């Protein structure tokens, strides 16, 4: 499934176009397109066609379903004569990713002509350290809580807004103030796109991650959704249960849109819709998206 879904932020003109290829344990790759020149890929467990268009790829952790297709992404970019993407990852896994790419280069007689190298294409990105991007945006890795070293990414968008005390001014008045050298505008970085990757619910309780809960779009996981799987099991495995989100729904009051991915392969899209409708309060449901699962396009296989 390679179609994009349009995610609208209620009460705002903002639109995001997402391609979500994500099933727990199999493969995860989520792309977000803001417009034709701003595209990001989060995780690269599968090199989707949408991801190949992305110059920036953010890897959350070293589980194979989140980074196993990184060498393929590198080779697909070359095959299609695109410049190398930049791959961001937790510092703990950079060396391993390099080794994997170099292994593929060796097996393919240089098919990956330019194996991933720290100087050219991969960036170990510590938590809290901003990554400058184009179009006035920066990405900031944040701490997540999984079974292995992991981090999510929050992309901030630069905006220029009028300082509150000058809100009432007319256009000509603003011009006058500016001519006198009075600063009537202020620059802000607003939390725009958040992607957690695999994590327990603790990520949302961490005070350092408060901006996640103000983002325009929050993409997170709900590996388990029904009452056959207890929430405690999700936590033990380093994941979120939909019950965690329902129980703490108030935390998500100020996000623009919530997108749930990484469902266990045991569920169908229909079951996902059923449980989301059953557990989430209506106001949160109104801004929640559960993208159709890729297996729906493959005959609906489940177990
Ligand atoms: Zn996973
Ligand atoms: Zn994982």
Separation of 224 CA from ligand 1 center, angstroms?
12
| pLDDT value of residue 298 | 52
* Domain locations in the chain as residue ranges: 5-128+218-298
* CA 262 to ligand 2 center in whole angstroms: 10
And the tokens for 195? 């992607």
Count Cβ atoms within 10 A of the Cβ of residue 292 and give its class: 0-12 exposed, 13-18 middle, 19 or more buried. middle
pLDDT tens digits, 258-284? 999 999 999 988 899 999 999 999 999
**Residue 295, helix vs strand vs coil:** helix
Question: pTM of the full predicted structure?
Answer: 0.90
Ligand at minimal distance from the CA of 22 is 1
Ligand 2 geometric centre to CA of 36 (Å): 30
Asked if residue 56 lies in contact with residue 133, where contact means CB atoms within 8 angstroms, the answer is yes
The partner residues of 33 in beta bridges, in order of sequence, read 17, 39
29 alpha carbon to ligand 2 midpoint, in Å? 13
Which residues hold their Cβ within 5 A of ligand 2, which is an ion?
Answer: 63, 198
Query: Domain spanning 5-128+218-298: which superfamily?
Result: Ribonuclease Z/Hydroxyacylglutathione hydrolase-like (3.60.15.10)
In tens, the pLDDT along 114-150 reads: 545 443 466 778 888 899 998 889 999 999 999 999 9
Return the pLDDT at 232.
94
Q: What is the pLDDT of residue 184?
A: 85
Cβ-contact 195, 153 below 8 angstroms: yes
**If residue 105 lies in a helix (H) or strand (E), which one and from where to where?**
helix 91-107
Which stretches of the chain drop beneath a pLDDT of 50?
1, 113, 115, 117-120, 299-303
Distance (Å) of CA 170 to CA 132, 174, 179, 181, 184: 34, 6, 14, 17, 12
Burial of 234 (0-12, 13-18, 19+ CB in 10 A): buried
Q: Give the number of whichever ligand sits closest to the CA of residue 24.
A: 1
State the ligand closest to the CA atom of 43.
1
61 Cα: distance to centroid of ligand 2 (angstroms): 7
Ligand 1 center–CA 61 separation, angstroms: 9
């Amino acid at each position: 499934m390679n179609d994009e879904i349009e995610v609208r932020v209620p009460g705002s003109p903002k639109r995001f176009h997402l391609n979500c290829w994500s099933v727990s344990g199999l493969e995860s790759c989520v792309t977000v397109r803001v417009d034709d020149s701003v595209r990001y890929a989060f995780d690269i467990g599968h090199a989707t066609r949408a991801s190949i268009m992305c110059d920036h790829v953010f890897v959350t952790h070293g589980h194979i379903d989140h980074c196993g297709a990184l060498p393929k992404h590198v080779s697909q970019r070359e095959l299609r004569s695109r410049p190398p993407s930049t791959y961001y990852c937790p510092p703990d896994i950079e060396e391993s990713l390099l080794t994997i790419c170099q292994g593929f280069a060796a097996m393919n007689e240089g098919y990956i002509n330019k194996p991933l190298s720290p100087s050219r294409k991969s960036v170990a990105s510590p938590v809290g350290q901003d990554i400058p991007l184009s179009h006035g945006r920066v990405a900031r890795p944040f701490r997540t809580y999984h079974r292995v070293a992991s981090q999510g990414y929050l992309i901030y968008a630069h905006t220029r807004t009028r300082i509150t005390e000058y809100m009432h001014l007319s256009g000509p008045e603003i011009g006058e103030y500016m001519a006198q050298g009075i600063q009537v505008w202020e620059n802000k970085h607003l939390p725009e796109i958040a992607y957690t990757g695999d994590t327990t619910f603790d990520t949302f309780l961490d005070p350092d991650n408060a901006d996640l809960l103000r983002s325009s779009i929050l993409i997170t996981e709900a590996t388990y959704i029904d009452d056959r799987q207890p929430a405690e099991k999700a936590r033990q495995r380093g994941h979120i249960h939909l019950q965690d989100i329902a129980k703490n729904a108030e935390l998500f009051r100020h996000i623009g849109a919530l997108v749930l991915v990484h469902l266990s392969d045991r569920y169908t899209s229909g079951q996902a819709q059923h449980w989301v409708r059953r557990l989430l309060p209506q106001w949160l449901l109104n801004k929640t998206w559960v993208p159709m699962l890729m297996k729906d396009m493959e005959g609906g296989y489940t177990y």
